[in-house]
Amino acid sequence: MRFSYLCNECNREYKTDEIFYTCPACSGTEKSGEFRKGNVIVKLNDEDLEELRKEKHYPLLELLPYPIPNMGAFPVGPTPLSKPFRLAKKYDLKHLLLKLDNLLPSGSFKDRASQMVAAQAIYHGEKKIALASTGNAGAAMSCAGAAYGLDIVLFVPESAPVNKLMQSILYGATVVPVKGSYDDAFALSLYYTANYGGINRNTAYNPMTVEGKKSVALELFLQLKGDLPDVIYVPVGDGCIYAGVCKGFLDLKRAHLIEKVPQVVCVQSESSAAIAKAWESGIPATVEATTLADSISVSSPANGRMALRYLKETAGWATIVSDEEILAAQDELVRESGTFVEPAAACAWAGMIKDRPKLSDETKVCVLLTGMGFKDMGVYEGRVQMPKAIENSSQAVDERFG
């Protein structure tokens, strides 16, 4: 489908067939300590949408800006929808769904963005993709690179978790540790693409990351045959996943496939709640993030302003939870539904638990689970005690269980 780019701040529209990242008029104009400005929204062509409306069936892939090549080589969805009957009974919810994006190829929701950026690269004849990441985005892009035969250059702060970097190295990415912060790695990735070519995949900086993430909304529409949830809970760090989920539903509405957009809830840890606090105060200020939920630990959210925009457009709200509530939610999911997720994903479930009093038992609820538990096993240190071995004898079994 044809598309243009719309600045999130000034609403200026840019029409180009070239790779485009941020609004040149607004990018970098934010004050120190404020959310980044200049991110752009992909605006689908009105005439093409009108053609879709005339058809009796709607090929939802047409709502993506680039064609997805060799979909079977990198199968990003549809991920399962779980109906956790034990949790539904416990919280008296008649319509509860868990969207299991922890089961995507690299174990992370960020495969969706990486697939779209890979499609962008292939469409434009590019072989290299560079980015900065501390974990899941790098692993997801490296996984897509291995599937599609693309060269991935990953800049990471030297302090990045080794277990997450190992995944990217195994996929064959060129990993470049940087003696500095994530922001330093981000800047060097921009320098790399400016001087050595390729596409930059950085979250929100490349608008195709939001477009890729919106595919979960299109997928839910298909899986539920248009009978969408009333409320969807999303774990939020930099705001890109949140923006993608909302954008998907809003594009479905523009295509006249749905009349009402679900309310999308932004759930953040109180130790990394820049967007939620900005929603409450109206001041888009950065914070000092200290949450143990590594994947959503963000001081300066890359897509904070767009997330705030979509909070309004979907009539959503922000819910803040503690790290203790996140860990309790992680334990509850794995023990009472068999769903093993990392703390960042469990944040969404913690938000639903906190909000339960404001939901009716008839509310159709979906919780988006974004990352596999194996991504961050370190949080279980000290929480899980390995049992002692017994002697190799029937007597020992009797002593243990008799």
Domain ranges of the chain: 3-63, 76-107+209-380, 111-206
CATH code given to domain 111-206: 3.40.50.1100
Helix-then-strand count for the chain, H and E: 14, 13
Tens of pLDDT, residue by residue over 277-308, are: 999 999 999 999 999 998 999 999 999 999 99
CA-CA-CA-CA torsion sign (252, 282, 187, 147):
negative
SS3 content of the chain, % helix, strand, coil (to 5): 45, 20, 40
- Mean pLDDT over 10-38 rounds to 96
- The radius of gyration of the chain's CA atoms, rounded to the nearest angstrom, is 21
The H-assigned helical ranges of 301-342 are: 304-313, 323-336
**Axis crossing angle, helix 136-148 with helix 162-171, rounded to the nearest 10:** 10
**Per the confidence metrics, is the pTM higher than 0.75?**
yes
Residue 265 pLDDT grade (very low, low, confident, very high; cuts 50, 70, 90): very high
Q: Candidates 3.90.190.20, 3.40.50.1100, 3.10.20.30, 3.40.50.1000; correct CATH number of 76-107+209-380? A: 3.40.50.1100
Is residue 137 within 8 A of residue 201, CB to CB? The reply is yes
76-107+209-380 and 111-206: same fold? yes
Residue 183, token pair as written in the block:
């922001």
| Euclidean distance between CA atoms 365 and 355, whole angstroms | 11
Is residue 81 within 8 A of residue 364, CB to CB? The reply is no
pLDDT at 153 over 70: yes
Mean pLDDT over the full length of the chain: 95
| Euclidean distance between CA atoms 379 and 347, whole angstroms | 14
**Beta pairing, strands 81-82 & 95-100:** antiparallel
